[in-house]
């Protein structure tokens, strides 16, 4: 039975730790949405042609006029001596900043090659920050594939941003995580209705949106993949609020409630603000999720959204969980969601893709959530799949998107049922 959870759930369940071939993006990929979110920022990857090609392939059709990201491609000459590479980087940045006067924040993003040749981007960022002060703030972080997986790129970026925040002892609420505009605004509206003042979001949309941090700062993550940012906030003295992530009606209610309780919002106010949208969400989910009920789902590791989403699919849509894979499990962050997973769920961390595919065959799920590299080959074998990357790009948080989230999973199943012509590829 999908909904009968024991109290402990999965929080202390054994985790299958896999250490084989990973079939995941590296952290650079986060730039695709981060650069849309931070409107005065530019992301300069210091890397290879592969890094540039990855960004382009992940961005797909979104070839923007002049996107706010680019790659400084290392060449044979840069690899010869370190001194050269630093100078080259300064020259490249100068070229970029003279062409793009709208840039106020410049992120130097490390890659595998820049890490392996030990190109010191921290020093470079410091020097460049001084040189372009006060026009441009230069910050460095690593999105390399030897250190980060997919959404961890946003985490590393945010961690670097937090490190540079001014101290403040003011009482405030800080929300971590880049969200699509519509979701971002909904969230702030609801927090405002709850009577919360002094609410800020990181990453800031513009550099002028000043945010500071200190021991009177309460913070909560809106995304489950912000483990390093979480730890950095704690180091800065801020007080974490943890809760299930705001997916679906239950997740959103629990997330908002944790904030409301922290700030002493009355039960009446909380109900007055959340009851209507919550009921609306529940009804909408119920309609959409009929097709999901009692069906089984298997998650390949991708974005670290897997555990909270599995919680939503199980608890609110009635799906059975076969395996929930995640590239990395930050127990403090996803603990509240883990507790709500049925004990029978197989949890896996890391990946050995061939072995996981073997388990998939055995598990024969009704729906497989996986990356783009695996989706079509699995469809051709008769599996119904959902591309995980869409979950990162789409508005899926909070009440008003709850049914949209369910329908992202319902649509592939729906299609499989509609098509009457086989799927021989």
Partner 1 sequence: MKLSVWTYEGPPHVGAIRVATAMENVHLVLHAPQGDTYADLLFTMIERRNHRPPVTYTTFQARDLGSDTASLFKKSCIEAYERFKPELLLVGASCTAELIQDDPGGLAETLGLPVPVVPLELPSYQRKENFGADETFFQIVKRLSRPLEKTEEITCNLIGPTALGFRHRDDITEITKVLNSMGIQVNICAPYGATPRDIEVISQAHFNVLMYPETGEMACRFLERTFSQPFTKTVPIGVGALSDFVKEVSEIVGANEINAETYSQLPWYSASVDSTYLTGKRVFIFGDGTHAMAAARIARDEIGFEVVGLGCFNREMARPMRKLAASFGVDALISDDYLEVEKHIQAIAPELILGTQMERHIGKRLGIPCAVISAPVHVQDFPARYSPQMGPEGANVIFDTWVHPLVMGLEEHLLTMFRDDFEFHDQAGPSHHAAHSPSPKSELIPEAVTEGNLDHKIIWLQDAEKELRKIPFFVRGKARKNTEKYAQNNGYSEISIETLYEAKAHYAR
Rule CB under 6 A: which residues touch ligand SF4?
Answer: 26, 28, 47-48, 50-51, 54, 111-113, 144-145
Residue whose CB is less far from partner 1, 193 or 344: 193
Residue whose CB is less far from ligand SF4, 51 or 273: 51
166 forms part of the interface with partner 1 (CB under 8 A): no
Instruction: Choose, by CB under 8 A, the member of 374, 392, 396, 408 that binds partner 1.
Output: 374
* Per-position x/- string for 225-264, each x denoting binding to partner 1 as judged by CB under 8 A, each - no binding: ----------------------------------------
Cis peptide before 203 (omega within 30 of 0): yes
Count of other CB atoms within 10 angstroms of residue 66:
8
For residue 54, how far is the Cα from the chain centroid?
18
Question: Which residues partner with 43 through β-bridges?
Answer: 69, 107
Question: Shortest approach of partner 1 to residue 204 CB, angstroms?
Answer: 19
112 forms part of the interface with partner 1 (CB under 8 A): yes
Residue whose CB is less far from ligand SF4, 89 or 313: 89
Tokens of 20: 């084989």
Stretch that binds partner 1, among 83-91, 169-177, 316-324, 361-369 (CB under 8 A): 83-91
For residue 164, is it left (φ>0), alpha (ψ between -120 and 50) or beta? alpha
Count of other CB atoms within 10 angstroms of residue 63:
8
> What, of ligand SF4, partner 1, none, does residue 137 touch, CB below 5 to 8 Å by kind?
none
> What, of partner 1, ligand SF4, none, does residue 1 touch, CB below 5 to 8 Å by kind?
none
149 forms part of the interface with partner 1 (CB under 8 A): yes
d(CA 227, CA 193): 29
d(CA 218, CA 334): 18
Question: Shortest approach of ligand SF4 to residue 54 CB, angstroms?
Answer: 4
Q: How many residues does the chain have?
A: 425
Pairing of strands 166-167, 172-176: unpaired
Region 42-71 residues binding partner 1, contact defined as CB under 8 A: 46, 48-50, 52-54, 56-58, 60-61, 63, 65-67, 70-71
Number of H helices, E strands in the chain: 17, 16
CB 226, CB 240: distance < 8 Å = no
Residue whose CB is less far from ligand SF4, 392 or 410: 392
362 forms part of the interface with partner 1 (CB under 8 A): no
Tokens of 121: 């981007």
């Amino acid at each position: 039975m999908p909904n009968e959870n024991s109290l402990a759930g999965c929080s202390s369940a054994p985790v299958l730790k896999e250490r084989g071939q990973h079939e995941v993006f590296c952290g650079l990929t986060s730039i695709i949405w981060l650069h849309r979110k931070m409107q005065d920022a530019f992301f300069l990857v210091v890397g290879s042609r592969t890094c540039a090609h990855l960004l382009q392939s992940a961005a797909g059709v979104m070839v923007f006029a002049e996107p706010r990201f680019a790659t400084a491609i290392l060449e044979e000459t840069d690899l010869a001596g370190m001194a050269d590479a630093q100078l080259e980087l300064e020259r490249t940045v100068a070229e970029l900043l003279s062409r793009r006067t709208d840039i106020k924040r410049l992120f130097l993003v490390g890659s595998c090659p820049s890490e392996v040749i030990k190109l010191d981007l921290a020093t470079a960022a410091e020097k460049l920050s001084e040189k372009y002060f006060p026009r441009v703030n230069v910050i460095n972080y690593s999105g390399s594939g030897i250190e980060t997986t997919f959404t961890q790129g946003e985490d590393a970026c945010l961690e670097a941003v937090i490190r540079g925040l001014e101290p403040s002892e003011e009482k405030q609420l800080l929300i971590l995580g880049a969200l699509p505009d519509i979701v971002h605004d909904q969230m702030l509206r609801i927090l405002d209705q709850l009577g919360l003042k002094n609410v800020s979001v990181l990453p800031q949309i513009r550099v002028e949106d000043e945010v500071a941090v200190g021991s009177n700062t309460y913070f909560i993550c809106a995304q489950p993949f912000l483990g390093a940012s979480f730890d950095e906030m704690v180091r800065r003295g801020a007080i974490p609020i943890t809760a299930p992530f705001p997916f679906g009606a239950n997740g959103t209610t629990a997330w908002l409630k944790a904030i409301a309780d922290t700030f002493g919002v009355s039960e009446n106010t909380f109900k007055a603000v959340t009851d209507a949208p919550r009921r609306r969400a529940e009804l909408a989910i119920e309609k959409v999720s009929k097709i999901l009920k009692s069906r089984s789902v298997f998650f390949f590791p991708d974005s670290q959204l897997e555990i909270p989403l599995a919680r939503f699919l199980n608890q609110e849509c009635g799906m059975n969980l076969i395996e929930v894979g995640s590239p990395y499990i930050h127990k403090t962050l996803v603990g509240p969601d883990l507790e709500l997973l049925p004990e029978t769920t197989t949890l896996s961390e890391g990946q050995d893709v061939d072995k996981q595919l073997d388990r998939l065959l055995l598990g024969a799920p009704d729906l497989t959530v996986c990356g783009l590299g695996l989706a079509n080959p699995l469809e051709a074998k008769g599996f119904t799949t959902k591309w995980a990357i869409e979950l990162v790009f789409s508005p899926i948080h909070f009440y008003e998107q709850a049914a949209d989230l369910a329908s992202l999973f319902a649509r592939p199943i729906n299609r499989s049922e509609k098509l009457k012509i086989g799927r021989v590829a």
